[in-house]
Structure 1
Amino acid sequence: MESILQFRIARILGGAMALTTAAIMATAGNASATTLPPASGGGWEHVYSATGVKVYVKEHGDQIKVCDTSANGHAAIVKVNDITENSHHGHAYTAKDKTSGGLCVIHTASQGGAYNLYEGDEYGLFYVGNGGRGHVSTFVNDH
């Protein structure tokens, strides 16, 4: 099991550098995102953080929020990628706090398309803040 997880993480990281560059430059797909102040409460099933970035996941409604925690001019970015073997692999989107000013951006299933995550699939989150090193976390969208 551990080697499968390592393989999946390695697969995510393999394309992560190119995806990060593309995510930083991309603006498409973020037009309907909602910009919010940083999250202050519970209800999030998964919370991941690194320097300058915090990512919140609520599986019900496929809510994924990325927050800039530094407000220092560097954007907070999360790349959401379906990593389920032999399933919907490649289903992905990128969310970015374009203001780089300590705010959050959220996407939900109600936006349709790539934001409506497949139930039961495993998703990899590649996130970066402060313009620095990327981080990877995974979760299974099981509700």
Structure 2
Amino acid sequence: MGSFILFIAVLVIIYQLSNISRNTADALDKQVALQYEIVAVEKRLDQLTELLSARQFESRQESAVIVDADELVNINHATVKQLTSLPKIGRATAQKIAEARPFSKPEDLKLVQGINEDIFADLAEKITV
């Protein structure tokens, strides 16, 4: 009877060891899968960082465009940033100008809400179509 109990104990131990081995293998498989996912996320993060850097560079280049005092601003083609460089033109008014395009003559700018005769008089010599 003692050898039977010893045999059962050995079987239980072997069964437990096989469970431990199987669980360890599953855990290692999950760990490897997670490592692949981490590498994929890191690559995607690098791509997004590069894209963000490129967009920031483009934005800096666009904001670096300064309209010279002698240079006329084409109100049909200027960016909102360039329009805001005009006297008495803020971002909201510049956006309204951009939305009201195209203009056939500079005087059409008076039709934009926020541009009155006084403001147009200040702009007249600085704009073109």
TM-score for both structures, normalised by structure 1: 0.24
**Higher-Rg member (1/2):** 2
Where relative contact order (Cα < 8 A, 6+ residues apart) is larger, the structure is 1
TM-score, with length taken from structure 2: 0.26
